[in-house]
């Protein structure tokens, strides 16, 4: 069977192989991450009650596939903080163009926290349905995302 | 991005390492969105980060760097509400311990940091900085370096200023540099609508539910709303401003809307009309049934879904002066109906410090006090972040607060019945 491969724009490059979590709807950064960050947890458990795709799921160290982020403008700062705490997803993979808040977050994390979080956008909306939570994927630094067997 | 000689010099570190790093971050951010230049910020900033949460270590570290580098904003800025108000929002010993010693342990330190880089004054803490009493009210066409989603969407839509949905930290960086990258909502093209929202309800929709429905549908696109002027009229009166404030906050928190146009009402819609709509714009029809569907979709996060509410927050975003007066009249009437002298549960109304001071000089303030309602300038969201507070059955008429806490949302008329004890 032909492998599902997606190619996007590299914002923060890196390689990753492992599990992913897919949020089919816009990911509310503050609602998703704040609880774990505030409680100083070692792992982020998605806390957005309005997003069943991520609610209750571990988001630390995984590839998070999403259309864009939504919600409060603390979003970028929240991403920077979880990167500083080392509890961030390994990769943020956006089907659409990255939004301004997520973009701020990954740039702040890279420039001010020396974070190696991977960020790729414009992967196309098909990635949200072709890849499912729990699937194994590989991410390459040229912006290629492949669904593994 | 094409930079001026002066901007290049900053980037190369001629004005210090910290300013260079700030410039680098702002330039990289702009380039990601195809910005070709930086443009001057023309008025005061507004920051989203008002809370000294101990865990936000990056903020305090970067603020220290900024202060050490001697950087200050060219215009005094405002900032979101404070997270604590023990005088008006009473807390138990355990709550106080969690708030002061654990959650907001850096509050005093952070406020000192803010003062050193250009905070306007002690009353500068509100999410509704654009209200006339507060005075951080941009003019049409002003370029802003603001964060706080509800303030950005208000400034863009109701005032015709130009601001992207900046994140915390990027808001400070733009305000310090006096420059922001030109893209998105700073451009004429970026302010055009990709959605036509047809409001076909039988009466004026609940602002917070209409905004929520639109936000969830259009995400970060620009909606052009037709049919709402039938209920709101064509002038930005105090009541209309209050409605649009709440409507916009819901579009921005339930989605990621940074700008909306209301036909025949908001300034750009009045000036350019349907020319603001892109050719391939999609259509979303909102009628009574659609609003009810959205309302019923909100999950109830209380452990005991039938619990009796013990606390009610009204004012996220902060209430306007006219809203405080309107709620006073409604509660007075509601209490008459129920035969009660005081409200049936703890009720806290939140408003900017400047509006609070103005309201405290009125008879309506004395009435609310007599009814047992407290007026505060706290951020309800920051209060409900406390795990103890989060476990309490709190009700609200704010869709933003519902989104970020376990508070249960009710429509205005239902909130009124609950707080007045009307069966």
Read off the pLDDT of residues B389-422 as tens digits, 9 standing for 90 and up: 777 899 999 999 998 888 999 999 999 999 999 9
Distances (CA, A) of B146 to B209, B215, B292: 25, 20, 33
Q: Compute the distance between CA of residue A33 and CA of residue A38 in angstroms, rounded to an integer.
A: 9
User: Do both B290 and B361 map to the same domain?
Assistant: no
Task: Match 């864009």 to its residue by tokens.
Answer: A68
Q: Best mutation site among A11, A49, A98, A100 for testing chain B: the one with the most B CBs within 10 Å?
A: A100
Chain A neighbors of B403, CB-CB under 8 A: 28, 31, 50, 71
pLDDT at B303: 87
Burial of B342 (0-12, 13-18, 19+ CB in 10 A): middle
pLDDT band at A1 (very low <50, low <70, confident <90, very high): low
Q: Which residue of B has its CA nearest to A121?
A: B32
CATH number at residue A90: 3.50.30.10
| A104 in contact with B, Cβ within 8 Å | yes
User: Do both B150 and B198 map to the same domain?
Assistant: no
pLDDT at A40: 84
User: Do both B170 and B96 map to the same domain?
Assistant: yes
Last residue of a domain, one of B246, B272, B296: B296
What is the count of structural domains for chain B? 3
Cβ-defined contact of A73 to B171 (cutoff 8 Å) = yes
User: Do both B179 and B203 map to the same domain?
Assistant: no
User: Do both B243 and B287 map to the same domain?
Assistant: yes
pLDDT at B311: 95
Owning domain of residue B257:
189-296
Is there a domain that residue B301 lies in?
A: no
Last residue of a domain, one of B168, B186, B204: B186
| B212 in contact with A, Cβ within 8 Å | no
User: Do both B292 and B232 map to the same domain?
Assistant: yes
* Cα Rg, chain B, nearest whole Å: 22
The answer to whether the beta carbons of residues B1 and B181 sit under 8 Å apart is yes
Distances (CA, A) of A56 to A89, B190, B332, B349: 15, 36, 43, 32
The answer to whether the beta carbons of residues B35 and B1 sit under 8 Å apart is yes
Q: Which residue of A has its CA nearest to B54?
A: A38
The answer to whether the beta carbons of residues B220 and A68 sit under 8 Å apart is yes
| A76 in contact with B, Cβ within 8 Å | yes
Q: Compute the distance between CA of residue A118 and CA of residue A124 in angstroms, rounded to an integer.
A: 17
- The percentage of chain A sitting over the pLDDT mark of 90, rounded to a whole number, equals 85
Q: Which residue of B has its CA nearest to A26?
A: B219
Q: Compute the distance between CA of residue B414 and CA of residue B206 in angstroms, rounded to an integer.
A: 12
Q: Compute the distance between CA of residue B299 and CA of residue B311 in angstroms, rounded to an integer.
A: 19
User: Which residue among A26, A103, A108 places its CB closest to the CB of B256?
Assistant: A26
Please report the DSSP string for A35-53 in residue order: HHHHTT-SS-B---TT-TT
User: Do both B180 and B198 map to the same domain?
Assistant: no
H helix runs in B33-163, sequence order = 57-68, 93-96, 107-117, 149-157
| A103 in contact with B, Cβ within 8 Å | yes
The answer to whether the beta carbons of residues B381 and B300 sit under 8 Å apart is no
Is there a domain that residue B302 lies in?
A: no
Q: Compute the distance between CA of residue A54 and CA of residue A69 in angstroms, rounded to an integer.
A: 13
DSSP letter at B103? Answer: I
Q: Tens digits of per-residue pLDDT, A84-106?
A: 999 999 999 999 999 999 999 99
Cis peptide before B317 (omega within 30 of 0): yes
On the question of pLDDT at A17 being above 70, the answer is yes
pLDDT band at A72 (very low <50, low <70, confident <90, very high): confident
Where are the strands (E) in A2-112, listed by range? 5-7, 9-12, 16-22, 27-28, 63-66, 69-70, 91-94
The greatest distance separating any two alpha carbons of chain A, rounded to the nearest whole angstrom, comes to: 45
Give the CA-trace dihedral at B136, B141, B146, B152, to 10 degrees: 90
Cβ-defined contact of B256 to A112 (cutoff 8 Å) = no
Q: Tens digits of per-residue pLDDT, B110-144?
A: 999 999 999 999 999 999 999 999 999 999 999 99
Angle separating helix axes B170-177 and B17-32, nearest 10 degrees: 110
Count of beta carbons in the 10 Å neighbourhood of residue A130 = 15
Q: Tens digits of per-residue pLDDT, B218-227?
A: 999 999 999 9
Please report the DSSP string for B70-99 in residue order: T---SS-BEEPPBS--TTTS---HHHHIII
Chain B neighbors of A49, CB-CB under 8 A: 299, 301, 406
Distances (CA, A) of A119 to A8, A11, A14, A115, A142: 10, 5, 8, 11, 11
Distances (CA, A) of A39 to A43, A113, B160, B274, B295: 10, 21, 40, 48, 30
User: Do both B141 and B253 map to the same domain?
Assistant: no
Chain B neighbors of A74, CB-CB under 8 A: 48-49, 147, 167-168
| B299 in contact with A, Cβ within 8 Å | yes
Q: Compute the distance between CA of residue B332 and CA of residue B209 in angstroms, rounded to an integer.
A: 25
Is there a domain that residue B303 lies in?
A: no
Mapping DSSP to helix (H, G, I), strand (E, B) and coil, where does residue B358 land?
Answer: helix
Give φ, ψ of B312 to 5 degrees.
Answer: -130, 130
pLDDT at A118: 98
Count of beta carbons in the 10 Å neighbourhood of residue A40 = 11
User: Which residue among B32, B59, B403 places its CB closest to the CB of A50?
Assistant: B403
Cβ-defined contact of A73 to B167 (cutoff 8 Å) = yes
DSSP letter at B101? Answer: I
User: Do both B182 and B194 map to the same domain?
Assistant: no
Is there a domain that residue B393 lies in?
A: yes
User: Do both B370 and B235 map to the same domain?
Assistant: no
Chain A neighbors of B219, CB-CB under 8 A: 26, 67-68, 70
CA distance B55 to chain A (A): 7
pLDDT at B95: 86
N- to C-terminal Cα separation, chain A: 10
Structure tokens at A61: 């160290």
Q: Best mutation site among A68, A69, A73, A113 for testing chain B: the one with the most B CBs within 10 Å?
A: A73
Counted across chains A and B, CB pairs separated by less than 8 A come out at 124
pLDDT at A34: 86
Cβ-defined contact of A71 to B58 (cutoff 8 Å) = no
User: Which residue among B166, B169, B299 places its CB closest to the CB of A50?
Assistant: B299
Displacement of CA A1 from its chain's centroid (Å) = 27
What is the count of structural domains for chain A? 1
Give residues with Cβ within 8 angstroms of B105, minimum separation 6: B52, B54
Mean pLDDT of chain A: 94
Is there a domain that residue B304 lies in?
A: no
Structure tokens at B157: 């839509």
Q: Compute the distance between CA of residue A107 and CA of residue B19 in angstroms, rounded to an integer.
A: 16
Go through chain A and tell me how many residues it has: 149
User: Do both B117 and B219 map to the same domain?
Assistant: no
User: Do both B45 and B109 map to the same domain?
Assistant: yes
For chain B, residues with pLDDT lower than 70 are none
Owning domain of residue A107:
5-147
Give φ, ψ of A27 to 5 degrees.
Answer: -95, 120
Last residue of a domain, one of B171, B186, B201: B186
CATH number at residue B347: 3.30.499.10
| B170 in contact with A, Cβ within 8 Å | yes
Beta bridge mates, B286: B199
pLDDT at B411: 97
């Amino acid at each position: 069977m032909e492998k599902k491969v997606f190619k996007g724009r590299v914002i923060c490059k890196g390689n990753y192989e492992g599990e992913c979590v897919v949020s089919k709807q816009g990911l509310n950064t503050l609602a998703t991450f704040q609880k774990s960050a505030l409680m100083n947890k070692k792992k982020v458990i998605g806390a957005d009650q309005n997003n069943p795709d991520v609610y209750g799921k571990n988001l630390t160290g995984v590839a998070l596939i999403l259309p864009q982020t939504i919600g409060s403008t603390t979003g970028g700062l929240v991403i920077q903080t979880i990167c500083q705490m080392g509890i961030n997803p390994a990769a943020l993979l956006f089907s659409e163009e990255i939004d301004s808040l997520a973009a701020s977050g990954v740039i702040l994390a890279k420039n001010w926290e020396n974070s190696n979080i991977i960020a790729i956008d414009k992967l196309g909306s098909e990635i949200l349905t072709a890849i499912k939570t729990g699937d194994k994927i590989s991410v390459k630094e040229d912006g290629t995302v492949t669904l593994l067997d | 991005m094409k930079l001026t000689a002066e901007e290049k010099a900053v980037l190369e570190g001629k004005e210090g390492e910290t300013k260079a790093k700030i410039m680098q971050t702002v330039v990289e951010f702009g380039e990601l969105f195809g910005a070709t230049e930086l443009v001057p910020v023309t008025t005061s900033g507004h920051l989203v980060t008002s809370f000294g949460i101990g865990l936000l270590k990056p903020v305090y570290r970067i603020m220290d760097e900024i202060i050490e580098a001697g950087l200050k904003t060219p215009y005094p800025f405002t900032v979101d509400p404070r997270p604590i108000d023990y005088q008006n929002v009473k807390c138990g010993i355990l709550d106080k311990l969690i708030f002061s010693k654990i959650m907001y342990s850096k509050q005093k330190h952070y406020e000192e940091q803010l003062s050193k880089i250009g905070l306007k004054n002690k009353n500068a803490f509100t999410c509704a900085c654009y209200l006339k009493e507060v005075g951080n009210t941009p003019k049409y066409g002003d370029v802003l370096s603001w964060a706080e989603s509800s303030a950005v969407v208000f400034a863009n839509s109701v005032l015709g200023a130009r601001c992207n949905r900046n994140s915390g930290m990027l808001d400070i960086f733009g305000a310090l540099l006096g420059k922001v990258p030109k893209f998105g909502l700073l451009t004429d093209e970026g302010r055009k609508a990709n959605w036509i929202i047809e409001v076909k309800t039988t009466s004026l929709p609940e602002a917070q539910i209409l905004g929520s429905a639109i936000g969830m549908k259009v995400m970060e696109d620009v909606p052009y709303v037709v049919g709402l002027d039938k209920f709101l009229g064509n002038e930005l009166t105090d009541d209309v401003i209050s409605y649009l404030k709440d409507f916009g906050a819901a579009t921005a928190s339930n989605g990621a809307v940074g700008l909306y146009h209301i036909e025949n009402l908001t300034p750009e819609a009045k000036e350019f009309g349907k020319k603001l709509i892109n050719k391939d714009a999609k259509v979303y029809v909102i009628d009574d049934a659609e609003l009810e569907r959205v309302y019923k979709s909100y999950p109830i996060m209380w452990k005991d879904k039938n619990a009796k509410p013990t606390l009610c927050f009204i004012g996220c975003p902060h209430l306007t002066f006219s809203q405080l007066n309107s709620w006073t009249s409604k509660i007075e009437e509601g209490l008459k109906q129920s035969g009660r002298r005081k409200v049936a549960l703890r009720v806290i109304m939140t408003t900017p410090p400047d509006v609070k001071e103005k309201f405290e000089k009125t008879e309506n303030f004395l009435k609310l006090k007599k009814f047992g309602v407290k007026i505060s300038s706290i951020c309800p969201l920051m209060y409900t972040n406390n795990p103890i507070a989060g476990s309490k059955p709190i009700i609200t008429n704010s869709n933003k607060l519902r989104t970020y806490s376990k508070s249960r949302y009710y429509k205005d008329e239902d909130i009124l019945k609950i707080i007045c004890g009307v069966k």
